Structure 1
Amino acid sequence: MPKKRLKKDNEEVQEMKGKEVNTDEQVLGQEEVAEPSREDQLQQEVDVLKDKQIRLFAEFENFKKRTAKERIDLFRNAGVEFFEAMLPILDDFDRATKHREDVKDTHELQKGFDLIHSKLLGVLEQKGLKSMDSSVGKDFDTDFHEAITQIPAPSDDQKGKVIDETEKGYFLNDKVIRYAKVVVGQ
């Protein structure tokens, strides 16, 4: 019986050794899988960085498209506030035009148009438009005036001064948007 037992024990030991060898091979195999070569690591890093770059580029392109669209919308709708403010004045002109034949007294008609004119000026001033003060008698200034013609000055003190103003000048938020058209003494 002891010989049979020894034989059985030897077989079990051999099996265990075989299993240990297999286990060692598995561990070595796992280590090889777990530790990729330096080249593989660098390639993975390159792939990750390329992916990040592609995503950032796509995100930037989307940003450019979105901001371009927003800018177009902004320009397209920039005047909406102004036009909304002008609509009541347009309505007043429509009513005045509709009833002008019913009005017998031209003084009343003139009074109505004067009211509409003052309302228009009020809205324009709210939006930043301001007319230039009359330039007649002042020195010609190229920052505010556009000389349309020169005439002989009636007197020596009128030389280089504005003799007449044919068209008013305007500011929009302190910036000249139309120069006053003037006649200058020579």
Structure 2
Amino acid sequence: MFNKKKKEEEPIIENNQAEQEVETAQGEATNDTENATAEPVVELSVEEKLQQENAALNDKYLRLFAEFDNYKRRTQKERVELLQTAGKDVVVSMLPVLDDFERALKATENATEVSAIREGVMLVQTKLKSILSQKGLKEMESINTVFDTDIHEAITKIPAPSDDLKGKVVDELEKGYTLNDKVIRFAKVVVGA
């Protein structure tokens, strides 16, 4: 009994070895057919490889340059459009003031009282100032302040009426303005010496 088991086990081992040999032979056969049907590998010289890389890099460079050029044109066009319409909201908000001035001019044709005209002009001025202050415009207060070259432009110097006015603004010929805390017009002033 013992011998029968050995004999039965041996053919199993032989069958496993036979299967491995068949698989190896099939693998070699497929490798041979793959090599026969595959295109021959062409070795490129170093110079040809460098030329191909150079052509690829040139193409990439030209595409990038064209893309950047388009970007510059687009941003320049956007900037021009922005500058053309930048003051649109200010102008639109000023139109009612312009209408008020036209009405005031019509009223002066038949008016006999100066005080009524003066009152109408003061109302238009107040309206104009409130619109501009909403847009960030502020008047500078200069009279009796220390002369500051960052916000003042000295037109002339005069002898100070008192000692405490020396180096200070005595008179203001033209108001100065700031827009969002940036000076847009310097105040033209007379300084006490």
TM-score, length-scaled by structure 1: 0.75
Deviation at 1:148, TM superposition (A): 0.7
User: 1:37 is aligned with what amino acid?
Assistant: E
User: 1:52 is aligned with what amino acid?
Assistant: K
User: 1:59 is aligned with what amino acid?
Assistant: E
CA 45–27 in structure 1, closer or farther in 2 if over 3 Å, else same: farther
Pair 1:163-2:170 in alignment: yes
RMSD over aligned CA atoms reads 2.2
- Structure 2 unaligned blocks of 5 or more: 1-32
Deviation at 1:68, TM superposition (A): 1.0
Q: How many residues align?
A: 158
Compare 163-172 and 101-110 and name the one that shifted more: 101-110
Deviation at 1:43, TM superposition (A): 4.5
TM-score, length-scaled by structure 2: 0.72
Deviation at 1:58, TM superposition (A): 1.2
State how far apart, in whole Å, the 1-side matches of 2:136 and 2:79 are: 23
The DSSP-based 3-state class of the residue aligned with 1:101 is helix
* Match of residue 67 from structure 1: 75
Matches within 5 A, 1:37-186: 37-39=43-45, 43-133=51-141, 135-186=142-193
User: 2:86 is aligned with what amino acid?
Assistant: A
CA 37–112 in structure 1, closer or farther in 2 if over 3 Å, else same: same
* Residue deviations 1:24-71 (CA, integer Å, cap 9, x gap): 8x946x522xx3333455544443333332222211111111111111
Deviation at 1:183, TM superposition (A): 1.2
- Structure 1 unaligned blocks of 5 or more: 1-23
Which of 31, 36, 39 is equivalent to 1:31? 39
Query: Identity of aligned pairs, percent?
Result: 54
The DSSP-based 3-state class of the residue aligned with 1:38 is coil
State how far apart, in whole Å, the 2-side matches of 1:152 and 1:46 are: 78
State how far apart, in whole Å, the 1-side matches of 2:49 and 2:166 are: 86
The DSSP-based 3-state class of the residue aligned with 1:177 is strand
User: 1:157 is aligned with what amino acid?
Assistant: D
* Match of residue 5 from structure 2: none
* Match of residue 21 from structure 1: none
User: 2:104 is aligned with what amino acid?
Assistant: A
Deviation at 1:169, TM superposition (A): 1.2
